[in-house]
A and B are shown apart, each in its own frame.
Chain A
Amino acid sequence: MSDLVKNIIRFAAFILIQVYVLNRIPPVHRFIVPYLYFLYILWLPFKTTPINLMLIAFVFGISLDSFTNTPGLHAAACVLIAFIRPYLITIILPQERKELYYTNPSVKSLGGVAPYALYISVLTFIHHLYLTFLEWLSTGNWWYFLGKVLATTGVSLMLILIAEILVYRKDQMRTNA
């Protein structure tokens, strides 16, 4: 399956899972909202140019927004992590491996569990921080803001871990084709 087809299927799958599975989980605590959908942006191939990355993120976010009736909210957060992603990868990726190797960000391609975990958790945290900040502008409760950012980040990291275990992604080598 080509990268394009794979990512189109993933696009739909992530949105449907977020809307019809995760958003329907009965609330456990007021801090906890299970978010997983943004993993789609973290899994996009390395070769996506920064501008395409942001455009894809915007369309992806706005698609989720039309289901939750919050136009712009998730789109803004997605565009932010899409903007930061290339810079973070440049910092994390070992200099000597930058050239060829793998197509998608994964444990192997980023050179171990620690760099990959850093990559995931930094972007997850930024995503939730920005998302909760935008929500906080309308509600305005400092402790709620802080608690929600930390709790949702924790829950998301757990969900991402489960997704990484469940979804088998082949570590493809980059080819010239």
Chain B
Amino acid sequence: MRNIFLFLKNRSKFIIFVALQVIALWILFKYNKFHEAAYLGVAGEITGRINQQYNKVEYYFQLKQTNDALVRENLELRQQLAQNFEAPDTSFTNFTDTVNFLKDNEQRKYRYRSAKVLNNTYTLTDNYLTIHIGTAQGVQKDMGVIGADGVVGTIVNAGKNFSVVMSLLHHQSKLSARHLRSGETGSVYWEGESPFELTMTNVQKSVEVKVGDTIVTSQYASYRYPQGIMIGTVIEVEENNSRNFHTLKLRPSTHFNRLEWVTVVENLQLEEQLAIEESTRKN
């Protein structure tokens, strides 16, 4: 017995080293796997508050870009108004059916909530954003997040007033995308190397893809994002004769280094969709 204690005493440095390493690695890999950790709930509130203070200062330096992005987005929405369309042929009418908007929840699929970005990384291997909205405002885990210029990411951890968003620049982020010109779908992910490069695969070789083509979210990603939200533009079509699918390099349309406001997308029909999918799987 005494020898055991002596041994422990002599090796205490090493034992503590190993113990701390095990704790650190355990939270690291557990967190990566399940995307949640009890500790982040508490830490999130604290770091969220510090981030909020910092953001108060930093926000002013970005006002110009934020303004520009909002003007662009407004213009885009204005283009869709019904009064923009007028044809000499009176049998042609174009109107917006307001009934669908009025009977709010019956036909509405997406509801949007805007949120301020408090913290944001884009140079690390796994990047996250902290946004100032949480379960108290109706935000849940797994909701999609978009910005003025395109897709931003997915909510992985929703606290009371702050939420953590897994950005597209994360090695576990993957989403279904569509080549806008041809309508062909594929999947977009990040290889973890450059924040200016996403990778898209599974686009059939029969489709002609050119540099500069637009990639948007596909209908298969619509449980999280409305379809047709921009993801990026093609910057490189990789030559690879051994495969039947294109490997494309995309430049993300979202400027991750100057995000100020994002929009959280809630899919109101998700529950129904999941329920029917689940019951099919059981049969």
Interface residues of A (CB under 8 A from B): 19-20, 23, 25-27, 30, 33, 50-51, 54-55, 58, 61-62, 66-73, 75-76, 79-80, 83, 134-135, 138-139, 141, 144
Contacts and interface: CB of A to CB of B under 8 A. Distances in A.
Interface string B104-131: 0000000000000001011111101010
Contacts of B122: 27
Contacts of B29: 72
B21 A76 contact: yes
Interface residues of B, number: 42
Majority DSSP secondary structure for residues of B touching A: helix
A71 B40 contact: yes
Nearest to B29: A72
B47 A139 contact: no
B24 A61 contact: yes
A156 B170 CA distance: 24
Contacts of A54: 13, 16-17, 20
The residue in A19, A66, A72 that gathers the most chain B C-beta atoms within 10 A of its C-beta is A72
Given A51-B12, A73-B24, A138-B125, 9 more contacts: A58-B23, A58-B24, A68-B128, A71-B39, A72-B25, A83-B17, A134-B28, A135-B126, A144-B193
A55 B17 CA distance: 9
Interface string B1-44: 00000000000110011001101111111011000010110011
Nearest to A135: B125
Nearest to B32: A138
Contacts of A75: 20, 23-24
Nearest to B12: A51
A79 B12 CA distance: 15
Interface of B: 12-13, 16-17, 20-21, 23-29, 31-32, 37, 39-40, 43-44, 46-47, 51, 54, 119, 121-126, 128, 130, 164, 171, 191-196, 257
A71 B24 CA distance: 7
A25 B123 contact: yes
A9 to B, nearest CB: 16
Contact of A76 (B25, B32, B192, B195): B25
Contacts, number: 104
A98 to B, nearest CB: 18
Contacts of B28: 70-73, 76, 134
Given A23-B121, A30-B194, A67-B47, A72 B16 contact: no
B22 to A, nearest CB: 9
A113 B219 CA distance: 62
Contacts of B47: 66-67
Contacts of A71: 27-28, 31, 37, 39-40
A25 B16 CA distance: 36
B191 A139 contact: yes
Nearest to A86: B13
A16 B96 CA distance: 51
A72 B21 CA distance: 9
A139 B125 CA distance: 8
Contacts of B27: 71-72
B194 A72 contact: no
Contact of A79 (B20, B44, B51, B194): B20
The residue in B122, B125, B194 that gathers the most chain A C-beta atoms within 10 A of its C-beta is B125
